[in-house]
Amino acid sequence: MRTLRYNQALCEALRQEMDRDERVFVLGEDIARHGGVYRVTEGLLERFGPERVIDTPISESGIVGLAVGAALLGMRPVVEIQFMDLITIAMDQIVNSAAKARFVHDGALHAPLVVRTMNLGKGTVYSSQELEAWFTHVPGLKVVMPSDPYDAKGLLISAIRDPDPVIFIEHKALYRIEGEVEEEAYTVPLGQAKLPREGDDVTVVAWSSMVGVAEAAADSLADEGIGVEVIDPRTLVPFDRERVVASVCKTGRLVIVHQAVRRGGFGAEVAAAVTESEAFGYLMAPIRRVANPGVPVPKSGALHPPALPGEADVIGAVRDVMAYG
């Protein structure tokens, strides 16, 4: 298989879906003439023309609302919101117009739109927030967070074909990573976790940019003789609960890693779900979360270490749960 970068894999997914299905169109700021700030929509304008590749004014709420209307009347819009912090403007349209359309129409209509956005991880205070947890709390929305180029393509195709509104969250730290990607269009089903590392001692659940960090930590810990099982759920809604629960039943220890703020983060949901499950009886140590400790992400790199979770934090947490009891 050839390799592609994460952003190229996404671009290929869009191109192939637009080739396949003329109802698919893309819209957002700087996505047409410029090809997207992260080049995910590069070349689409030239191929599909300005009717299907639309540069919009700065109107995040308006364009998501517009996409909902287009989806309800038979199109398959893919909106780009330039970074996650901006989605704060479009929450009404996502939560009220999109998420509830199928419900209020009792299935007679539905809103098959994809909102692509990205967590930037480290930007300014106003461009570093990771807000996936909000969307998981809203019935009607699916939430997808690919961690590598292969999944990026396959999950985006699944998201576009999915009949429900999908919040598709990319990550700036991943756009340049390369990986093998099939040329043909393919789907990665929503709701199936993958296990980039298997191990018997500790389960580490991580997603998006944190999967690589967890893998690196697992590799270091292997040298210490600690077997870490890394689970990448790939989609938070639907969530592959069974896979996580089975792993914790095996290892008896769980560490959850995300870059978002710990308090109220989706890690809490994973921890709570495991604690509610049959895995409870197997837990040998408290569940640990590695996450932003509750601060805005500051601009200065000097202030990053305590704010942003890294490999050392994961290693520390794994050692802690191993040492418990």
Partner 1 sequence: MDRKDGIGGRELTTKDLVEMYRLMLQSRCFTEQVLVWYEEGRLPQGLHPSVGQEAVGVGACYGLGPDDWVIPSLRTAEAFWTRGVTMLEQLNAMLGNAASVSRGKETSHHAGYPERGILAGTGIVGGSIPVAVGGALALKMRGSEGVMVSFFGDGASNRGDFHEALNLAAVLEAPVVFVCENNLYAQTVPAAVGMAIEDIADRAMGYGMPGRVVDGQDVVAVYAATQGAVGRARRGEGPTLLECKTYRFLPHYPIFEEKRPAEEIERWRERDPIEMLGRRLEEEGLLDEQGKLEMEEAIEAELQEAIGEAEGMPMPDPQEVFENVYREPVEAMGL
Which residues make up the interface to ligand TPP (CB under 6 A)? 29, 58, 60, 82, 86, 89
CA 190: distance to chain centroid? 11
C-beta of 226 vs 231, nearer to partner 1: 231
271: contact with its own copies by CB under 8 A: yes
Least distance to partner 1 from the beta carbon of 78, Å? Answer: 13
C-beta of 62 vs 196, nearer to its own copies: 62
Q: Which amino acid is at 224?
A: E
Q: Side by side, which strands form the sheet with 288-292?
A: 194-197, 228-232, 202-206, 254-261, 288-292
Least distance to partner 1 from the beta carbon of 230, Å? Answer: 19
Measured distance CA(257)–CA(135) in Å, rounded? 18
Least distance to its own copies from the beta carbon of 127, Å? Answer: 10
C-beta of 83 vs 266, nearer to ligand TPP: 83
Q: Which of helix, strand or coil describes residue 152?
A: helix
Least distance to partner 1 from the beta carbon of 219, Å? Answer: 26
267: contact with its own copies by CB under 8 A: yes
| From its own copies, partner 1, ligand TPP, none, interface partner of 306 (C-beta below 5 to 8 A by class) | partner 1
C-beta of 14 vs 244, nearer to its own copies: 244
85: contact with its own copies by CB under 8 A: yes
**How much is the CA Rg of the chain, to the nearest whole Å?**
20
Least distance to its own copies from the beta carbon of 241, Å? Answer: 11
88: contact with its own copies by CB under 8 A: yes
Residue with tokens 């879906």: 17
C-beta of 135 vs 175, nearer to its own copies: 135
Which positions from 130 to 149 touch its own copies by CB under 8 A, shown as an x/- string?
A: -x-xx-xxxxx---------
Tokens of 36: 């997207």
Q: Side by side, which strands form the sheet with 166-171?
A: 53-55, 24-28, 76-81, 114-119, 166-171, 142-144, 235-237
C-beta of 49 vs 264, nearer to its own copies: 264
Q: Which of 302, 310, 218 is nearest to 259 (CA)?
A: 310
Contact 155, 234 (CB under 8 A): yes
Q: Where are the beta strands (DSSP E) in 72-180?
A: 76-81, 114-119, 142-144, 166-171, 178-180
Measured distance CA(81)–CA(61) in Å, rounded? 10
C-beta of 7 vs 93, nearer to its own copies: 93
Q: What angle do CA 212, 81, 115 make, to 5 degrees?
A: 80
Least distance to its own copies from the beta carbon of 290, Å? Answer: 11
| From ligand TPP, its own copies, partner 1, none, interface partner of 192 (C-beta below 5 to 8 A by class) | none
| From ligand TPP, its own copies, partner 1, none, interface partner of 59 (C-beta below 5 to 8 A by class) | partner 1
DSSP per-residue letters across 95-115: IIIITTHHHHTTTSS----EE
Q: Where along the sequence are the contacts to its own copies (CB under 8 A)?
A: 61, 85-86, 88-89, 91-92, 95-96, 99-100, 103-104, 125-126, 129, 131, 133-134, 136-140, 237, 260-261, 263-269, 271-273, 275-277, 280, 283, 285-289, 294-296, 298
